[in-house]
């Protein structure tokens, strides 16, 4: 599943094409991927096609916002749409004249015009774990959907992270994965950050000292920023708006490397299950 770095990189590749573009037409091919922000997160998809205005038709895109793993497209009318990529979702921008190599499983299509140039924004999601939320305003989206999530992992302070971890009796890995605690971190970057901070993923979060939380905070922000700069991690489906794959998987120290040598001490990396997720760590460097 795309995590914060993938969505942040996607946002940065979309901004030059989308900000300032007018939405000429909107085509919806599957209404069940659409949801209303007013209904809150987790609701089932719509059965009928909404009005074009609800999907930004005839308005101009003025901004892109991200919180955790979700990306919002904001228009001059005030309305916004929020895209969650789920496990296999892609948001692709295709300039006029270019051909998308895969046109199957395209559920929504926005026809755009910007400074005379035309293009198509396509939401493609083969497994349909993602979706598009429609909001009358960014404020409504933030209140109804984003407010139930924790602080964004790139902007949270060390003090706020310590306070959040102190409130849970779960393992630190489980806490990092909980989007209500911290928005944006998934399995890849939880494992990588804990390795960088030399913290065992099974340690109870509330027992971490202020110094260890500070170390974890530094590691987490560093890993996320490095991943954003590398275009994220492509393991299977993820590509950015241009179709480019992320290269951060080449820099993974632990994720997906069970049984390999630790890049730091040379020991054998161990694979276990924490919070029902496959977890890889170094038993030497990340002692309990």
Nearest Cα neighbor of 85 from 240, 190, 211 is 240
* In the block, residue with structure tokens 């390999």: 260
30 is catalytic: no
Name the catalytic one among 69, 92, 173, 215.
69
3 is catalytic: yes
Concatenate the DSSP letters of all residues of 22-71 into one string.
EEEEEEES-GGGEEEGGG-TTPPPPSS---GGGGTTTSBEEEEEEETTEE
261 is catalytic: no
Q: How many CB atoms lie within 10 A of CB 286?
A: 21
Asked if residues 260 and 269 have their Cβ atoms less than 8 Å apart, the reply is yes
Name the catalytic one among 2, 5, 41, 201.
2
| Biggest distance spanned by C-alpha atoms of the chain | 60
Q: Strand, coil or helix: what is 127?
A: coil
Name the catalytic one among 30, 170, 212, 277.
277
CA 80 → CA 32, 60, 131, 162, 184, distances in Å? 18, 11, 14, 33, 20
Helices 4-18 and 210-229, axial angle in degrees (round to 10): 40
If residue 160 lies in a helix (H) or strand (E), which one and from where to where? helix 158-166
2 is catalytic: yes
Phi and psi at residue 273, to the nearest 5°: -120, 125
> Which residues are known catalytic residues?
2-3, 69, 277
């Amino acid at each position: 599943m795309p995590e914060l770095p993938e969505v942040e990189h996607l946002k940065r590749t979309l901004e030059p094409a989308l900000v300032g573009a007018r939405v000429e037409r909107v085509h919806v091919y599957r209404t069940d991927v659409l949801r209303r922000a007013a209904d809150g997160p987790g609701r089932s998809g719509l059965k009928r096609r909404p009005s074009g205005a609800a999907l930004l038709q005839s308005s101009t895109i003025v901004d892109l916002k991200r919180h955790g793993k979700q990306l919002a497209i904001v228009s001059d009318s005030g309305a916004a749409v929020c895209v969650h990529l789920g496990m296999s979702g892609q948001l692709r921008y295709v300039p006029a004249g270019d051909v998308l190599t895969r046109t199957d499983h395209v559920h929504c299509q926005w026809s755009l015009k910007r400074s005379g140039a035309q293009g198509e924004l396509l939401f493609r999601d083969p497994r349909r774990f993602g979706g598009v939320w429609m909001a009358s305003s960014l404020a409504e989206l933030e209140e109804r959907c984003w407010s139930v999530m924790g602080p964004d992992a790139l902007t949270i302070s060390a003090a706020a992270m310590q306070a959040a971890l102190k409130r849970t009796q779960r393992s630190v890995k489980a806490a990092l994965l909980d989007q209500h605690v911290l928005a944006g971190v998934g399995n890849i970057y939880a494992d990588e950050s804990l390795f960088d901070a030399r913290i065992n993923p099974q340690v109870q979060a509330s027992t971490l000292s202020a110094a260890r939380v500070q170390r974890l905070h530094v590691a987490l922000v560093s890993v996320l920023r490095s991943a954003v700069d590398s275009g994220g991690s492509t393991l299977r489906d993820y590509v950015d708006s241009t179709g480019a794959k992320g290269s951060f998987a080449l820099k993974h120290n632990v994720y997906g490397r069970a049984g390999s040598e630790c890049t730091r001490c040379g020991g054998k990396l161990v694979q276990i299950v924490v919070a029902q997720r496959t977890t890889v760590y170094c038993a030497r460097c990340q002692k309990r």
